[in-house]
Structure 1
Amino acid sequence: MTKRFYGVAILVALLFSIYVLTSAGKFHIVDEVSLFGVTESLALRGEVDTNAIAWTQWVNSPGEVLGAFGPNGEVYSKKGPAPAFLAVPWYLALLAVARLDIGLGLLQGTLLWNGLITGLTAAVLWLTARRLRYSDRIGITLALLYGLGTIAWPYANQFFGEPLSALSLLFCFYAILSFRLTDRLYWIACAGVAAAVAMTTVVAHTVLLAIYGLYLFTFFFYAPSGDPVQEEPDTEPAPSASTPRGSLVQRMVLAGTTFAVPILLAGLLLLWYNNVRFGNPFSTGYHFDGGEGFTTPMLQGLWGLLVSPYRGVFWYTPLLLVAIVAFVPFFRRHPVEGFVIFGLSFVLLSLYSRWWMWWGGFAWGPRFLVPLTPFWLLPLATPLATIEQRLERINQGAVDRRSGALLRAVGLDGFIIALFALLSVAVQLLAVAVNYVNFEIRLRGIFPTNWADPLEFGPPAQRLMDWWLSPVLGQWYLLRENFVGNNDLAWLRPDGNISLLTLFVGLIAIFSLVLLLSMVLKGYRSEQRNSTASPILLASMPLIPLTLVGVWLGQAATDPHYGVAGSGYRAVITEICEQAKPTDVIVTVAPFAYQYPMNWLAGSCRVMPPIVGYGVTNAAEPQAQTLLSELLLNTERIWLVTGGLPANDPENLVERWLVDNAYEADDRWFDDYRLVRYASAVRMRSATTTQLGIPLGRDQTPEITLLGATAPAAATSASILPVALEYQLDQPVNIELHWFVQLLSSENYPVALVDTAPRNGYSNFADLPVAETQREHVALQLPENLAPGRYRLIAGLYDSTSSTGERLRLPNGRDFVDLQTVTILGQ
């Protein structure tokens, strides 16, 4: 492997290490959660739903609705599939490690993925500069400026699709450029694959395909551009897969077909994906009838994206101001590439400036412009080449080194680039060091949203006179007010605790990689630029960032944001994983605690039940009822997890629905979180109904008649046994009665039991009407290793207010009713 590719590998490792050290290890906005939900579902179950955050469908603002309902009430993300799909191997690698009983947070680890994507984008930018016949030193400089001096850095630490858009669009550009220079057909195939990835990341990128197509076909009519003064690109062997030497039309058809095939396959993938989600290949999940769409006046959007203090790109990456000036000489030297960059910029700016939420919601800077950032930085290669020539003359002794010759060689243009580069790096440091969401929330207080009509919301700090409210300055305000409390670094906790090990290993890793990269740079000054890199160094170099990742994940796992092992939600997860079966499902009513199961559940469970997450009132919605009904018919056990809610909360409509339709077995608390087990209706399909008509009462006075009972005639140990009781009141009941249901062994010892008020506490007997049939659903969680045999199922009523637990009696004096015999078959 040549030294260049060794240098590229070092560059990627260096940037990735910096991104790991500056990662928060947390979601910032719910868009990230939606994409992660797809990755998790696909990796664990081969599905693409985001049911784990179904509650996001019922919010005030259409901008927060991150998906749409499928035919069966399931929720699917409206985001393009590529970012979530391509992160699956990374997720699975983390999962394999986590299941070695290593305390590794899957969510935290997956959030590092875009750091690798951004590092690869920087590497492609370096190689693109080389293809344009600029030196490796300029390529490395551009790559570092992109990776550390643009909004690419903050987005490397977040789970958005924009970093993948940047990589795919730039690689498509690079591949077509490579084809133009080498006439190798496989570069067209690579360009087609990159275009396909871009299209499946953001469907709107389809409009860019025409520009790339024109760029491709200019090869047949316009000679590739380059600067003969610069270093020649690496020589390549004679192409073994070049376009055939047929007629011009034949060559164009072959090139066009090779480019189009991956794109057509991507189009079919999107149609299939839409059909899987929504039952319609042309339904994307966007709510154009609900306010989403291209409705913003273009000039307003352009002002916002380019100039406004709130989202103006030059506020967030000042270096791009210099790049605009550099575009003129770049265009003169590379007119075709200049037209391509201009065309891509014009189309995407026109597109996103019209989008109803052009500012991208709670985001850092103009996130929709992240894909254009490497293209806008590329023109800096031209002034950098001029500066490099002047410095080379000094190194070669052509210019006297004395009398400030070095300063003159750097020149005013060099100092301007350096100044704006440092300013841009400082802005990105503020972005990754301080949680920008805190200032976004503050801006919402200054410019409040009209929740009666959320679409009325206008992004704040739009006027230049509001420059002091720019989020860029907001980061400084937050840092100055309370850096520790507002910090966004995983190794620095808001309580002031610092993971010195992570910081030490991170700094050592970065220093080592900087040293290796500087050695590569020195090699480019010699005649050994294409020499073979040491296999030992090449093999050992990835260990540097991997060691940092391991240390970072180890300390990040102790972040209180993800709970404390053995308590609260973490204890709930442990309890579920010890008993989880393939026929289980988890329903959560804890919308602000979704990060706990996303981080820990899959790594702790050998059998991973699917999760459906609702808010307290969501069960009133028809889509939620449809999905819950599907779960009731296709699963055997339902785990309900609630957070911060009392038992039998009248506002908790999800629990009320389960009480009426499923069969509750038990109810336990883990600090502020509650775990309730239900049996579904599946086991009742083969149940036996016993007609009883037995009255129960006090003092020989019938108060309640037990009409009948339904339960399976057989069960296995460790399973859950549902029981339905039908009864009616014979007269008003003015005491608080509870049902008890028990499974007795041959020695009349209760091996499983349940105790409940009517409707599991949502009703009481005093409120029930007389002479009207009532139905009570309960379930018994059978213990493991329960001996096979025949067991008695009994039920009765007792006074819960009595100190002795006085039971109602049958006419024969007994205090319970024999319901039926249940055969336990073993596991």
Structure 2
Amino acid sequence: MAQVRRYGMTLLVSALICVYTLTNAGRFHIVDEVSLFAVTESVGLRGDVDTNAIAWTQWVNSPGEVLGAFGPDGQVYSKKGPAPAFLALPWYLLWLAIARLGIGVGLLQATLLWNGIVTAFTAALLWGTAVRLGYNDRVGLVLGLLFGLGTIAWPYANHFFGEPLSALSLLACFYGLLAWSQDGRRRWMWLAGSAAGVALATVTAHGVLIAILAGYGLWCVRRRWQEGVPLRRWLALGLAFGAPLALAGLVLLAYNFLRFGNPLDTGYHFDQGEGFTTPILQGAWGLLLSPYRGVFWHTPLLVAGLVAWPAFWRRHRAEATLIAVLSLALVGLYSTWWMWWGGFAWGPRFLVPLTPFWCLPLVIPLARLDVNLRRWQARRRRMSVRALRPLVAALGGQGLALAAVAGLSMVVQLLAVSLNYVNYEIQLRSIFPTDWSDPLRFGPPAQGMGDFLYSPVFGQLRLWGQGFVANTDLAWLRADGTVLWLVVWVGTAALVTLAVGMGLWWRGMDASGGPELPSRPARILVLLVPLVLMGTWLGEAGQDPHYGQPDRGYRAALASICAQEKSGDALITVAPFAYQVPMNWLGGLCREALPIFGYAANSMEHPEAQQVLGDVLETSRRIWFITGGLPANAPENTVERWLSQHAYKAIDLWYDDYRLLSYATPPLLAQAPVHRLDVTLTGPEAAPVQLLTVRAPSRAVANDVIPVELTYQLLQPVDRPLRWFVQLLGPDGVPVALLDTAPDDGYASFSGLPPGEALTERAGLQLPTSLPPGSYTLIAGLYDPEMPAAAQRLRTPTGGDFVVLGNVVVQ
């Protein structure tokens, strides 16, 4: 029987994974997801825990959008619990290995499928919990389906939040304690303790719930051990539960110390408005009953669970009491949280961890319904009754009501996953105006019960009326009307296959001779079906223009970087509205794990950014820099201006609206001596410019960037638009690397420079990857682009049109 149950659970898990994959948007909805993914990416690619890739999010208007905190080193770290990011690592690394085989798999999109797996296993564990409580497998299957398809667990299965993992870990802790109370095996205590540790490392505040579960565990021990028990057995049990929990606590302390230098610092900004400051009744109203976030609006099925709770309490008093106490604790906790509504979210996301517990009382009406259906089936076999009326009678009023509420709840979840609820959240800010200028007053729309028609539940219908395709949240249906038919057909075939398998399993549970286990190929097929669908989905969803086109724009710039990357490179970006592109593709394109620092144009106004980029400048050999939607030398681009003053630009290329630059860094000049030049350049209409000194390395290797630092002075004011050229000449006098630039890398002009002062110009030369070894000549000079071609270059006293700076030996 256990094998048949496992097969049924496999069917359930596979079916739910297929549903979640088909309804996945393939993109982030909320910045919280981005912060968690940035941790997974950092650990998976570089073994770091920073979230510097989205450093720009630290300087936004609302504190609710600040998902990180600065460490002592100025780097950004997520304030979210690490468990969701860490436990998603094997899944991320699996797809990273596949992507590096040259298969076009988007790592961000692949990781977004992870919580679908977590939620599907939560449904299976809920089934197992029902069986532990004494209910049959048919009840367990239906309970798992109701949880997986009829609650807010479905929408959150498609987000990269920590709440799905919280739900699984808390339920696993309860299951372990319940199982131990029945058979006394110590492994169940280890499971409970390990799950509690995961819950703690997901959300530290869940320590309150863990304490309640531990109290339930003590009650289980007392119930099982009525008589005196040796101390060693108590110690063994305490070790089994407490050791993994203590280990999780130590991991959290170490994680905090690694990020912030203080084991007790979690990164939350309690001095900036965060904290438990909301009046509890206001928050409780919002979480439970308000049209805006009320749990019963977003999961009508839980009304049935609430109605069933008294009967559940009469049969399972300890477990029902546990659910009630957990509910009071979590609702009470988040009712006082300053952002109790959870930002842009679907329903009360902070209550997602309680969803499986709130579904558990449904075993009572489901068991009664199962008995009635079995009687009806037996009567039908005897009397060949096929009319609908006997079936309706068998269901009874309670069964019909449960079916109606379950159907309504599934429709609500289907609306949530089909249409992008964030679009309506934005509209609500106009319907119920929010003071965006004051971060601490930023809050949810003030909805009373009279505003129920403005509930996000009805808002999904409004979005549908405004245009289903335009507001779609399905990866296989794009806003431009494109349908990914391959995903649709493979998904349909997968669901039909699993539905047939589930139907056969259900019928087998009624067989007089007992259920039979299908053949091994059939069981393997059940495992393969969701994998095939996920692979198909990833292959097709990766073509979403949201993530760029392979040979255009941002992706082309990334491909260019990865074709030239080497150890010691770093990547800085000023493209905050396209952060998803490198997150999706960079890991698969590059063999070297480039540290990435994502800033906004004005980020260098902040000392933390200056500190971090100062460190990058000293620890990297080459810096890649990508901007998006900005012209060259944009005055507001403080990052580019800073690089022009501290690094040595070598490459400046455009890829549609994106610009790729590369810079050499000062450490490459650490051993280079300063050589005097004292050469004056003059032109027909240009005042003389004197080159004073040069500093450049005398040795290099192919694919290196050679930094060149020139000092010069204007002997008189210059009113011509002069430009520098720096070149590396081969033995035949043909340039193998060159750079053309204005003063200060374009942030200044000669007409604005003061005469008589020593000035510095920084330049870099990118050597080709296939450059042959040998001796090359480094030259520099000035030219006037407005003069005729023959007279553009300024001349030396000997008549030359460039100055030899020295030789570079390429090894």
TM-score by length of 2: 0.97
Q: Report the AA paired with residue 113 of structure 2.
A: L
Mapped to 2, the partners of 1:485 and 1:721 lie a distance apart of 50
In structure 2, what is the equivalent of residue 107 of structure 1?
A: 108
Q: Return the offset for 1:353.
A: 0.5
Q: List aligned pairs for 1:651-690, cutoff 5 A.
A: 651-690=636-675
Q: Does 1:87 align with 2:88?
A: yes
- 8 A contact 2:84–2:202 mirrored in 1: yes
In structure 2, what is the equivalent of residue 35 of structure 1?
A: 36
Q: List aligned pairs for 1:700-711, cutoff 5 A.
A: 703-711=688-696
In structure 1, what is the equivalent of residue 364 of structure 2?
A: 382
Q: Does 1:580 align with 2:565?
A: yes
Relative to structure 1, the CA distance from residue 403 to residue 593 in structure 2 (aligned partners, 3 Å threshold; closer, same or farther) is closer
Partner of 2:193, secondary structure, is helix
Relative to structure 1, the CA distance from residue 334 to residue 715 in structure 2 (aligned partners, 3 Å threshold; closer, same or farther) is same
Mapped to 2, the partners of 1:803 and 1:182 lie a distance apart of 94
Q: List aligned pairs for 1:332-371, cutoff 5 A.
A: 332-371=314-353
**1:269 aligns with one of 251, 267, 290:** 251
Per-residue deviation, residues 89-128 of structure 1 (Å, max 9, x unmatched): 1111111111121111111111010000000000000000
Partner of 1:76, secondary structure, is strand
Mapped to 2, the partners of 1:462 and 1:698 lie a distance apart of 73
Q: Does 1:18 align with 2:19?
A: yes
Q: Return the offset for 1:39.
A: 0.6
In structure 2, what is the equivalent of residue 69 of structure 1?
A: 70
Q: Return the offset for 1:501.
A: 1.5
Mapped to 1, the partners of 2:402 and 2:514 lie a distance apart of 27
In structure 2, what is the equivalent of residue 419 of structure 1?
A: 404
In structure 2, what is the equivalent of residue 787 of structure 1?
A: 772
Per-residue deviation, residues 242-263 of structure 1 (Å, max 9, x unmatched): x999825443332122100000
Q: List aligned pairs for 1:206-285, cutoff 5 A.
A: 206-222=207-223, 247=229, 249-285=231-267
**1:816 aligns with one of 799, 802, 805:** 802
- 8 A contact 2:177–2:220 mirrored in 1: no
- 8 A contact 2:722–2:782 mirrored in 1: yes
Q: Return the offset for 1:564.
A: 1.3
Q: List aligned pairs for 1:119-518, cutoff 5 A.
A: 119-222=120-223, 247=229, 249-397=231-379, 404-518=389-503
* Bigger shift: residues 541-550 or 404-413: 404-413
Mapped to 1, the partners of 2:508 and 2:440 lie a distance apart of 57
Q: Return the offset for 1:448.
A: 2.9
- 8 A contact 1:2–1:530 mirrored in 2: no
Mapped to 2, the partners of 1:214 and 1:533 lie a distance apart of 42
- 8 A contact 2:508–2:515 mirrored in 1: no
- 8 A contact 1:591–1:615 mirrored in 2: yes
Q: Return the offset for 1:42.
A: 0.6
Mapped to 2, the partners of 1:176 and 1:143 lie a distance apart of 20
Per-residue deviation, residues 477-510 of structure 1 (Å, max 9, x unmatched): 1112200110111111111111112111101101
Q: Report the AA paired with residue 455 of structure 1.
A: L
Q: Report the AA paired with residue 117 of structure 1.
A: V
Q: Return the offset for 1:681.
A: 1.2
Q: Report the AA paired with residue 191 of structure 1.
A: A
Mapped to 2, the partners of 1:244 and 1:709 lie a distance apart of 88
Runs of 5+ unmatched residues, structure 1 = 224-242
Q: Return the offset for 1:689.
A: 1.2
Q: Report the AA paired with residue 55 of structure 1.
A: W
Per-residue deviation, residues 193-242 of structure 1 (Å, max 9, x unmatched): 0000000011111111221111111123336xxxxxxxxxxxxxxxxxxx
- 8 A contact 2:650–2:766 mirrored in 1: yes
In structure 1, what is the equivalent of residue 733 of structure 2?
A: 748
Mapped to 1, the partners of 2:60 and 2:443 lie a distance apart of 18
- 8 A contact 1:245–1:251 mirrored in 2: no
Mapped to 2, the partners of 1:630 and 1:388 lie a distance apart of 66
- 8 A contact 1:3–1:529 mirrored in 2: no
Per-residue deviation, residues 116-161 of structure 1 (Å, max 9, x unmatched): 0000000000000000001111111110000000000011111111
Q: Return the offset for 1:600.
A: 1.0
* Bigger shift: residues 455-464 or 432-441: 455-464
TM-score by length of 1: 0.95
Per-residue deviation, residues 594-650 of structure 1 (Å, max 9, x unmatched): 111111111112223121100000012110011101111111111110000000001
Per-residue deviation, residues 520-549 of structure 1 (Å, max 9, x unmatched): 112222366575553222222211111111
The size of the alignment, in residue pairs, is 806
Q: Does 1:556 align with 2:541?
A: yes
Mapped to 1, the partners of 2:523 and 2:443 lie a distance apart of 52
In structure 2, what is the equivalent of residue 596 of structure 1?
A: 581
In structure 1, what is the equivalent of residue 45 of structure 2?
A: 44
Mapped to 1, the partners of 2:686 and 2:271 lie a distance apart of 63
Q: Does 1:802 align with 2:787?
A: yes
Per-residue deviation, residues 759-814 of structure 1 (Å, max 9, x unmatched): 11100010011111111110000112222222221111111222315222222222
Q: Report the AA paired with residue 131 of structure 2.
A: R
In structure 2, what is the equivalent of residue 644 of structure 1?
A: 629
Per-residue deviation, residues 645-697 of structure 1 (Å, max 9, x unmatched): 00000100000000000000121101000001111112011112101222222
- 8 A contact 1:326–1:383 mirrored in 2: yes
Q: Return the offset for 1:702.
A: 6.3
Mapped to 2, the partners of 1:529 and 1:598 lie a distance apart of 51
Mapped to 2, the partners of 1:599 and 1:744 lie a distance apart of 39
In structure 2, what is the equivalent of residue 240 of structure 1?
A: none
> C-alpha root-mean-square deviation of aligned residues, in Å?
1.8
Q: Return the offset for 1:369.
A: 0.5
Mapped to 1, the partners of 2:388 and 2:53 lie a distance apart of 68
Relative to structure 1, the CA distance from residue 528 to residue 101 in structure 2 (aligned partners, 3 Å threshold; closer, same or farther) is farther
In structure 2, what is the equivalent of residue 54 of structure 1?
A: 55
* Bigger shift: residues 470-479 or 782-791: 782-791
Mapped to 2, the partners of 1:506 and 1:49 lie a distance apart of 37
- 8 A contact 2:678–2:691 mirrored in 1: yes
Q: Does 1:725 align with 2:710?
A: yes
In structure 2, what is the equivalent of residue 7 of structure 1?
A: 8
- 8 A contact 1:2–1:531 mirrored in 2: no
Mapped to 1, the partners of 2:489 and 2:303 lie a distance apart of 36
Partner of 2:469, secondary structure, is helix
Mapped to 2, the partners of 1:261 and 1:801 lie a distance apart of 76
Per-residue deviation, residues 399-447 of structure 1 (Å, max 9, x unmatched): 9868944323211111110110000000001001100010001011222
* Bigger shift: residues 206-215 or 172-181: 206-215
**1:766 aligns with one of 741, 751, 767:** 751
- 8 A contact 2:686–2:718 mirrored in 1: no
Q: Report the AA paired with residue 360 of structure 1.
A: G
Relative to structure 1, the CA distance from residue 493 to residue 699 in structure 2 (aligned partners, 3 Å threshold; closer, same or farther) is closer
* Bigger shift: residues 493-502 or 643-652: 493-502
Mapped to 2, the partners of 1:220 and 1:489 lie a distance apart of 48
Mapped to 2, the partners of 1:746 and 1:717 lie a distance apart of 16
Partner of 2:794, secondary structure, is coil
